[in-house]
Structure 1
Amino acid sequence: MGILILSLREFWEISPGAKIKTTSPETPKDSSAQALLSNKGHLKYRPDIDGLRALAILFVVIYHAFPSVIPGGFIGVDIFFVISGFLISTIIYTQLASNRFSFVGFYIRRIKRIFPALFVVLAFCFAFGWFNLLADEFSQLGLHIAGGAGFIANLVLWNESGYFDNASDTKPLLHLWSLGIEEQFYFFWPILICLAWRKKINLLWVGLIVGVISFAINVYEVHHQLHFTAAFYSPVTRFWELMIGAILAYIALNQKTMLDRLKASNISLSQARINHWISIGGAVFLLVGIFQINKNSPFPGFLALLPTLGAALLIAAGERAWLNRVVLSNRLLVWIGLISFPLYLWHWPLLSFAHILQGKMPSAEIRSLVLLTSIVLSALTYYCIEKPIRTNQFNKLKASILLVLLIVIGYIGFNTYQRDGLTFRLNQIQFRLPPILQALSVKDPSASGLDIGPPKIDCSLSKLGAPAGAICFTKEELQKPALFLWGDSYAAHLLIGYEERFASQYRISRLGYNGCPPIMGMELPNRKNCTVGNEQIFERILQQRPAKLVIAANWTDYDWQQVEATLIKLKQAGIEEIDLIGPAPVWSDGLYKQLYLKYLADRDSNIPYRMWFGLSKERDFLVIDQAMEKMAEKIHVRYISIAKILCNSEGCITRFGDTSASLEAIDAGHFTKTTSRYVVSHFPGK
């Protein structure tokens, strides 16, 4: 710990033009337990860092396959960031100090390290998608291939994220977001370091300033602006994690000076004991992180300090610390560390494709088999592709060929996206779909029950809780009693039906926000605007006293039983006319996908009008429907069951005709306009 403390003194006392210390050829190997350079001046191999890589990839892989085992396993990516920042910065610093740094050489090494495995995985994903994915799935995969090849996957995913975005399990290249951030760091950091070196600016200053600014923006986005998606995918909010590695590299290269200062200060310390406890501290940080952080945590934010500082401490402890020497340098862990990059690339596409083909989370046995396959493919990729290419022969030729290959696969991916998933494939191989199934696949966005236009409000009254962009009712509409439709997007998709059925009786206003249930006081991870928004809506209901209040939501997504307290509170406030709408059917990975999987399962060209096949979570919406009806009866609220309208003993309605506009849902559960009209037409008339 003394070394880390004295690093601050080093920061203030080293002059801006001071050269970075390196281990000279005359320095004995055992003069420092953490010497980073070999006697030839090259970066010294540390097996414990490969062991740390192994822990990182194992955390990620186990989390993706079995998320309940280690809920915070995704922090393995943050560990990778620190390792990358440390190793890359060490290389740059030492080469600058010896006047050997070359941008061409640096990027050739990066290309040889990253491009071979990445190209193979991208090509495999394209080939698999050609034969197995529907047009919209293949189109999205094409965009992600282009984003991955261009190292902007994080920006692509950031741009398309949102409430109605596809589930992460159905994005085979979702994991390339982290590679995008690393590559953006590889472009930004060497240039900045070289400029600072030429201007004789202390490199520790540069790392600290970049790191502090990045960390501050990260905390601001997560804890003040609640921009979780931006904080997760933005390189600006992630660079501080790589900067921890860069700062550690600077400290490690100047360690001998710091040890001398410890001796000069007459501080009696056992370096081995210090390193031992530093490594133990790092391990504790990682263990706390993987079990205390989960997908609902405000991440990265302050919590990301656990994996990043944990990784930094383990690296700082050096290869001779007991934990590093005995555990991290274990041969099995070192081997996993060597194949960690191809394993990271392979495991998620295979898990995702298994999910896509089954239309749901694969069984534990299939997931285990997928992980075993990933390890085999990773080993083959490493030994048969990576290692031969990384030799120091024909470097420029290899880099040029790899660059061209990645440009080609990126173009092919983007072309696939631009051409809507190459729909001509649907007439080939297993895509010889029945004409009706092909017609149902032609999407019509205007058919969505959520295509409802701007909301309407009574502008003569308080606008508290009114949706953004709301417009005013006309004088004629204001003559009618008010009907408020309160809830998330599963309330919004009923608006078309309500306006067609009840517009002559009521002026209808939709209240609420997508992803926010109409439940007072419910705190949702990453949706903290729901609480304040619902309070404003509740106050507006009490002020304007609608003739009828309709409450609806995708109850399968929430702890629906909490709505009882909200209903009681409304009734106590004098709101008597309340309709509680039950849950709608929810289809795994989308209704059309389930119709397609049903066809593949039985090859029956008679596409069903009703089916149980593919309903999400073992039809749990039916269980909720029955329990919610009893709850409503107990507190004297009228209950309307969508399940009874759309489902019977033969299954739930899937379509009303032969076009996509006649499907029951446009995705996993949001109604088309046809379904909205059909469902609300069966609601009670008063």
Structure 2
Amino acid sequence: MKFRTDINGLRALAVIAVVLFHFNPTWVPGGFAGVDVFFVISGFLMTGIIFRGFEKNNFSIINFYIARANRIIPSLSVVCLVLLVFGWFYLTPLNYSMLGKHIASSMGFLSNVIYWREAGYFDTASHSKWLLHTWSLSVEWQFYIIYPVVLVLLKKYMPLNNIKLLLIIGTMLGFIFSAYITYRWPNPAYFLLPTRAWEMMVGGLAFLYPLQSLKETSKKYLEWFGIALILSSYAFISKDNYWPGYLALIPVLGAYLVIVANRSGSVITDNVLMQKVGLWSYSIYLWHWPVMVFGYNFEIQHWAWIGIPVSFVLGFCSYKFVESIKFPALSTISFKTFIAFKPLWIVVSLGLVSSYIFIEHGIPKRFQSNINYIEDFASSLSSSQDNNVKKLREQCEVGDLTSKGCNKFEIENNVAGIIIGDSHAQAISSGIYKSLKSKYKGKELLNLGAFGCLPIYGVIHSDPSRKNCSVYNDKLYSFLKSHYDGVPVILAARLNIYPFGFNESNQVNKPYIYLDGYNKFSNNYLDAYKKDFIKSVCDIHKNHPVYILKPIPEFIVNVPETMVNNLLQNKKHDVTISVKSYEKRNKFTLSLLNQAKKQCGINIIDVNHYLLNTKNNTFYANIKNKPLFVDNNHLNIYGANLLSHGFDNIWNSKS
């Protein structure tokens, strides 16, 4: 097949968007759609290889797999090997163990499944995963495994023309399925093959049904329209949209049009810069994410301006010295030739080493005992086996209201308090429980919290995984109105993120929720938010005494990880923030709580003085080598229990 400069330029257009998005989403809000463009290109190229083989009656599935392995594995293995060496010296046992797990899954091309089970692609926790971007390679490889097998089987029973028609039908059904599943289960839809296969099949249709005898002018307009669709998806789509829902059709169709236009000499795609970047695109893609995570983890200021050029340089070096190595194809299929197949040994070797690191919990012997103590202390407390605490910490995932944690609206005996809120309600629950037990031996707490879901009226989440928050809240309010009259309700939530976004990322000042009637964040959004919040908590207060926890201090960094990194670099390992910073971050929220107290008499609980260092007017996140937080904002059980006496007045006022 003749080298297609237009497709090479399209690769550049895709990888540039992805890189810019990952380093700073505000630059290219929909840059993640570059991956969808890559999928279309892959589908086009793979379908071409398979059908040309069919037409010549010489297609071999084994040789197809081998060619893909020769192309993908060497560069990926170098990235993984560098990370293993780097991690030995600089990653904590917990993170090194996680890296081992992720390398094994990446080399086995199952990382998309692993990441789906761990967290959402856009979650802040994802910035600590060095190989998160390999999910797309796993999707492609899974497609490479299944697609030719299906086509070969179909070829035995029907002519090629019928197979082509079947692919059209399959692509259309795949798109409809993807659009539906994305809205039903957004997180698995993002990562898994069944909702992505149609994108690669669209590329296949571009090969099977090329536009013949187009005039140059028509090609130019077709290409320009395709590029316009791609660029519009980069500019106007964002991570707040369900993906890949029906909106994914925009970049996919754009890539399809550029491919079928088949235009060489384009000023957009066929220039020196785009051609070079296109050649290096796979290696740039492999390197850019670990480079970004490096800057994020080591808190390097203005890292994007350094990390982006570094990613392109590493991509060039990888292309020149790794990708360009020509591994021989297998002349015959036999046990001997498979043994000599180098990429196979690369996969096996890296898979075994990384699996060993994971099994051995990151090989903690590498570090001094106080580093392991910090990490063990934080992780063990965040997953306590205490039965009472564990029961309290089973919360609802409102992305799927059928999950076990959501089915909690049932009458229980001896309930002395009800906790509502988001994951902060979960994090503080052990401290509240400890306080209750100091007063009443036979009483229990009912935890009705839901992850990432603020319990107020009119919530419309900007995060697709929280799409059922409003449904859950309606159920919650109905339950509280008809049950447990007079039982105190304690609301604990990360109140600042809902109107202002996350303080540890570039999403500050970007609200986490919409409000019913305010689908866009308008100038009077905060007024509407304040009104809905006060109305909601005051409605609960009609039947229950309401206690709202003042926001727990939010730190910019992951507390246990920062403590360990500081120790590794021989720095002071204490983590603090100033009271001034806290007050600035919480100015609106504290005013809101005071207004609610004035309007309907809700109670405000302030436990932050237990974290206050009065000598330098700062809040601390650790006591010597003991972190009080699991991450940057969630208390661990040790931290929550430290604050327990702050809740004693709830039971004293009730007695």
- Which of 245, 248, 252 is the aligned partner of 1:304? 248
Alignment CA distance shift 1:618-1:327 (3 Å): farther
TM-superposed deviation, 1:455: 5.9
Specify the SS of the correspondent of 1:612: strand
Of 536, 544, 549, the match for 2:489:
549
The whole-number CA distance in structure 2 between the counterparts of 1:216 and 1:180 is: 22
The secondary structure found in structure 2 opposite 1:335 is helix
Question: Cα 1:368–1:198, aligned 2, differ >3 Å: closer, same or farther?
Answer: same
Amino acid at match of 2:407: A
Q: Partners in 2 of 1:413 and 1:438 — Cα distance?
A: 20
Change (3 A) 1:85 1:530: same
Q: Which residue of 1 aligns with 2:314?
A: 377
Is residue 18–residue 33 contact of structure 2 (8 Å, CA) maintained in 1? yes
* Cα distance change of structure 1 residues 665 and 634 upon mapping to structure 2, 3 Å threshold: same
- Structure 2 match to 1:644: 609
Instruction: Write the distance in 2 (CA, Å) between the matches of 1:164 and 1:78.
Output: 16
CA contact (8 A) 1:57 1:344 kept: yes
Q: Quick check: 2:419–2:446 contact (8 Å CA) kept in 1? A: yes
Distance (whole Å) between structure 1 residues aligned to residue 19 and residue 318 of structure 2: 17
Please, which of 519, 522, 526 is the counterpart of residue 456 of structure 2?
Answer: 519
Q: How does 1:412-451 map onto structure 2 within 5 Å?
A: 412-427=353-368, 433=370, 437=374, 440=377, 443-447=380-384
8 Å CA contact 1:78–1:241 kept in 2: the answer is: yes
Quick check: 1:518–1:552 contact (8 Å CA) kept in 2?
Answer: no
Tell me if structure 1 keeps the 8 A contact 2:392–2:430.
no
The corresponding residue for 2:546 is 578
- Give me the TM-score of the superposition, normalised by structure 1: 0.80
CA distances 1:39-89 after superposition (whole Å, capped 9, x unpaired): xxxx11111110000000000001111210110000000000000100111
Unpaired runs of 5+ in structure 1? 1-42, 260-269, 457-464
Q: How does 1:258-657 map to 2 (within 5 A)?
A: 271-320=215-264, 325-358=266-299, 362-364=300-302, 366-389=303-326, 400-427=341-368, 433=370, 437=374, 440=377, 443-447=380-384, 452-454=389-391, 467-468=406-407, 472-474=411-413, 477=414, 482-502=416-436, 504=439, 508-524=445-461, 525-526=463-464, 527-544=466-483, 545-559=485-499, 562=529, 564-571=531-538, 574-575=542-543, 577-600=545-568, 603-604=571-572, 608=574, 611-612=576-577, 621-623=585-587, 626-635=590-599, 636-649=601-614, 650=616, 651-655=618-622
Distance 1:616 1:469, change over 3 A: farther
How many Å separate the matches in 1 of 2:452 and 2:567? 32
Aligned length: 597
The yes-or-no answer on 1:237 pairing with 2:192 is no
TM-score, length basis structure 2: 0.84
Aligned residue in 1 for 2:119? 161
Structure 2 CA distance, aligned partners of 1:421 and 1:165?
A: 24
**Structure-1 separation of matches of 2:104 and 2:231:** 36
2-side partners of 1:540 and 1:220: how far apart? 31
Per-residue Cα deviation, 1:216-261 (whole angstroms, up to 9, x for no partner): 22112122x2x11110111011000000001111012xx55xx5xx
2:167–2:201 contact (8 Å) kept in structure 1: yes
Q: Percent identity?
A: 27
**Amino acid corresponding to residue 492 of structure 2 in structure 1:** A
Preserved CA contact (<8 Å) 2:8 2:275: yes
Q: From the CA coordinates, give the structure whose radius of gyration is larger.
A: 1
Instruction: Describe the SS at the equivalent of 2:194.
Output: coil
Q: 1:198 Cα deviation (Å)?
A: 2.4
Tell me, in whole angstroms, the C-alpha distance in 2 between the residues paired with 1:334 and 1:99.
Answer: 33
User: Pick from 163, 168, 182: which aligns with 1:222?
Assistant: 182
Q: Which amino acid aligns with 2:221?
A: W
SS at match of 1:559: helix
SS where residue 236 of structure 1 aligns? helix
Query: Once superposed, what is the RMSD of the aligned Cα atoms?
Result: 3.2
User: C-alpha offsets along residues 97-147 of structure 1, whole Å, 9 cap, x if unaligned?
Assistant: 012212232222212211111111111111111111001111111111001
Cα deviation digits, residues 400-453 of structure 1 (max 9, x gap): 1122012211221111111111111114xxxx8568647646734544899734
1:206 — aligned with what? 166
Contact 1:85/1:242 (<8 A) preserved: yes
Distance 1:466 1:438 in 2: 28
**In the alignment, structure 1 residue 52 sits paired with structure 2 residue 21:** no
Aligned AA (2:499): D
Shift of the alpha carbon at 1:316?
A: 0.8
